[in-house]
Structure 1
Amino acid sequence: MIDITILTKYTSKGASSRYRYFLYINDLLKQDTNIEIDSFLDTSYLHRLYSKKKKNKFKIIIAYIKRFFVLINSSKNLLIEYEALPYIPYFIEKLFLKNKNYILNFDDNIWSNYENKLLLRNKLDSLVENASGVIVANSFLEEKVSKLNNNIIKIPTVIDIDDYENNNIIKFDKFTLVWIGSPSTYKYITSHSHIFKKLSKIIDYKLVIIASKDLIDEAIVGVNMDFYDWSTKNEVKILKKSHIGIMPLDADTFAQGKSSFKIIQYMAAGLPTIASSIGENCNVLENNKTGFLVDDEESWIDSIQKLYDDKKMYDDFAMKAKSNAYEYSIQKYFKEFNLFINKTFKEKN
């Protein structure tokens, strides 16, 4: 029996924690494994974050104190989302990791958060160098981490395809583009607002945002938009009611390290996808088969219009996308995830 303490950043309400940790819990508990899990930030923090309210500093202090005690009393084996103590320098965090075997798990290029902070600039490199193993979600992170640690595995952020099996959901009456994400990455929608404005003059469509209803304050003028709060209850339903999934990105360092999980969700929902030809998007989306990779205003509009006008193309892309979803599912990757964790910790114990 292996004892493992899992340290997530958020509760299951946070997308990264939900899909890279909590999704695996039930299957992990069926193995020869004893699991304890601690979330650094609680659900109320996420609610404030998504509604753009001021952070509760007292609760953040309590979160650090709680995490200190968890680390002191944890099992010897730790599975960590990014870092155990966010925004705390490495020389402090390593004191709490002394005599621990730890595996780090990255789905985004969070190095960009620290690149201009002197005491934190090299923290993640040091954590990776001293880790027992590292799990990464995309090729950008795989290349980055492989220079620092030899025991790495690439496991994409996965979905449970069983969640998407309801085929009785009827599409929205109006042709719908859908975007799902966190309020912090809605900036990629606003940075492409000129495309959606121009498209509104060409085809009759609606742009649906699954993130937070409060983003209506940042709606694009002249574009028919609906905003939904994210929830496990409505996530799949709204995706399946839509017609095309979109994933616009800008060419910044954070976007280069994103894991294209939106595209994976769109595929599972049977949606063709239009996505910026940046980073992992180019590996997950099959251009001209499950959607289109685009890099300028003209190609964005042209690609959407093709799928709007050509029903056969739309149906072919939707069918291919749906069939590819298994390649990014827990049904495929749980065995690899469990094997890597067990092998890594057994070798260190």
Structure 2
Amino acid sequence: MALTPYPLGGPSSRYRVYAFQEPLKVNGVQLDIQPFLTPQAFSLRMNGLPNHPLVLADIAAAALRRIRQAQTSRRRYDLLYIHRQTAPSQHAYFDKLFLQTGLPIVFDMDDAVFSQYSITSLLQGSVAATVGNRHLAEYVGLSAPSTTVTIIPTVVDTRYYTVRPALKPKARPVVGWIGTGSTFRRYLLPVLPGLVRVCREAGAEFRVIASTDVRQQTVMAGAAYVPWSLLTEVQELQSFDIGVMPLSDDEFVRGKCAFKLIQYGAVGIPSVGTDIGANGDVIRHGVTGYLAPDAQNFEQRLAALLSSDDLGRSMGLAARRLIEEQFSLHSQTGRMAQVLHEAAGR
């Protein structure tokens, strides 16, 4: 049984759990995915309504489901795969319930969730952990030395993420960002006016793909807003010529898995990213894009890409090759299957 906090619409659950469900079948692993939030509740939360009556009612019902799942899991499953958390609150209580099942546990994280809530008991009670980068692996090694840790980056299905067409002559270049409302406000918004200015000077458009709660702030900053949709996500990414991932340095950021950069590279476009954490694992500076140490340098790197004749398309194609080799679903499925088989055998 795979426990996730979010349904398919949640990026981390979608790419770290749901994406592996069908490929793992070929490797003899059946994943029964049990999200905490329903799609309706998740959508309301993502659009700035966390206290909507439907959300609160769904959380109450979900808590009861989690209790029943813990009570019946021993009879139905060989292994528990827990992505990020057993529940969005009352972690200690729900962690204890699943630790008491006696089933082997594999814990998964793609962010420094330990900076927001404790996962120590869950990690120490797990036989294995899958994490998205070296920083997270180091944390597991310090907190739970007996837990086997494997780095499995967040991946994309490169059969679905395809290379964007070449830029049409005289088309207006598009610089873009994709993410959630919280990451927009925390990392993009503080630097957005400067990035918009760079784009305007180069005759380009800055485009934001996100939830509807950031529409007003996006437009006020002078950028174009595109509502995120699971159905149109890849198509909208393919409208970008250059992708950006600005960050500010803190514990949570050092645990991030550079997924935006992976998405950009998968559609064959170059990126500019802040030189922090896993961003350096995805961007090969000067080859697949540019790393920038600060906001001023970030703007300079973006301006350099915008002034190049092909908008860095050769870099984008090099990024695509890197994604296929190291950050694609097909490159990591076998490793994931091995982790789960070995954990179940213990």
Which of 147, 150, 160 does residue 157 from structure 2 map onto? Answer: 160
Aligned counterpart in structure 2 of residue 17 of structure 1, from 13, 34, 45: 13
Distance 1:40 1:276, change over 3 A: same
Q: Is the 8 A contact 1:263 1:285 kept in 2?
A: yes
Paired residue secondary structure (1:219): helix
Superposed, which structure 2 residues align to 1:138-287 within 5 Å?
A: 138-147=133-142, 148-149=144-145, 150-165=147-162, 168=165, 173-187=171-185, 188-200=187-199, 202-219=201-218, 221-223=220-222, 225-287=223-285
Identity in percent: 25
Partner of residue 118, structure 1:
none
User: Which residue identity lines up with residue 13 of structure 1 in the other structure?
Assistant: G
Q: CA deviation at 1:166?
A: 6.0
Tell me: CA distance 1:39–1:112, structure 2 relative to 1, closer, same or farther (3 Å).
same
Cα distance in 1 for partners of 2:189, 2:241 equals 20
Superposed displacement of residue 296, structure 1: 2.3
Structure 1 residue aligned with 2:83? 81
Supply the distance in 2 between the matched residues of 1:328 and 1:197 (Cα, whole angstroms): 30
Q: Paired residue for 2:107?
A: 104
TM-score normalised according to structure 2 size: 0.91
- Structure 2 counterpart of 1:64: 63
1:29 to 15, 25, 37: 25
Aligned-partner residue type, residue 174 of structure 1: R
The equivalent residue for 1:303 is: 301
* Residue identity opposite 1:301 in structure 2: E
Q: Give the corresponding residue for 2:38.
A: 42
Question: With structure 1 as the length reference, what TM-score do the two structures score?
Answer: 0.90
Which stretches of structure 1, 4 residues or more, deviate above 4 A after TM superposition?
A: 166-172
Shift of 1:91: 5.5
What amino acid sits opposite 2:41 in the alignment?
Y
Shift, 1:201, TM fit: 5.3
Distance in 2 (CA, whole Å) between partners of 1:93 and 1:297 is 40
CA RMSD, Structure 1 to Structure 2 (Å):
2.0
Q: Unpaired runs of 5+ in structure 1?
A: 115-122
Deviation string, structure 1 residues 7-53 (Cα, Å, up to 9, x no partner): 11111111101100111111222333343221111111221122112
Q: Which has the higher contact order (CA 8 A, sep 6+)?
A: 2
Aligned pair 1:94/2:96, yes or no?
A: yes
Letter in structure 2 aligned against 1:51: N
| Structure 1 residues 183-221: Cα deviation after superposition (integer angstroms, max 9, x where no partner) | 111121112134225425522221111122331121263
Shift of 1:68: 0.9
Residue number in structure 2 paired with 1:345: 344
- Take 2:269 and 2:30, find their aligned partners in 1: how far apart are those partners? 38
1:191 is paired with a residue whose SS is helix
Would the aligned equivalents of 2:164 and 2:239 in 1 still touch at CA under 8 Å? no
Secondary structure of 1:241's partner?
Answer: coil
Aligned residues: 334
Asked if residue 113 in structure 1 is aligned to residue 109 in structure 2, the reply is no
Whole-angstrom distance in 1 between the partners of 2:192 and 2:310:
29
1:129 partner amino acid: Q
Give the whole-Å Cα distance in 1 for the aligned partners of 2:318 and 2:60. 48
The corresponding residue for 1:126 is: 121
Distance 1:312-1:32 versus aligned 2 partners, 3 A rule: closer
Q: Could you tell me which residue of structure 1 aligns to residue 334 of structure 2?
A: 335
Task: Report the 3-state secondary structure (helix = DSSP H, G, I; strand = E; otherwise coil) of the residue aligned with 1:227.
Answer: strand
Q: Distance in 2 between matches of 1:167 and 1:301?
A: 24
CA distance 1:307–1:132, change in 2 (3 Å): same
Give the 3 Å change call, closer, same or farther, for CA 298–168 of structure 1 in structure 2. closer
**Any conservation in 2 of the 1:212–1:227 contact (CA below 8 Å)?**
no
- Give the stretch that moved more between structures: 195-204 or 284-293: 195-204
CA contact (8 A) 1:275 1:292 kept: yes
The alignment partner of 1:320 has SS state of helix
Structure 2 counterpart SS, 1:317: helix
SS of 1:196's equivalent?
Answer: helix
- For structure 2, the 5+ residue unaligned runs are none
Between 83-92 and 32-41, the greater mean CA deviation after superposition = 83-92
Compare 240-249 and 295-304 and name the one that shifted more: 295-304
C-alpha contact (below 8 Å) 1:209/1:228 kept by paired residues:
yes
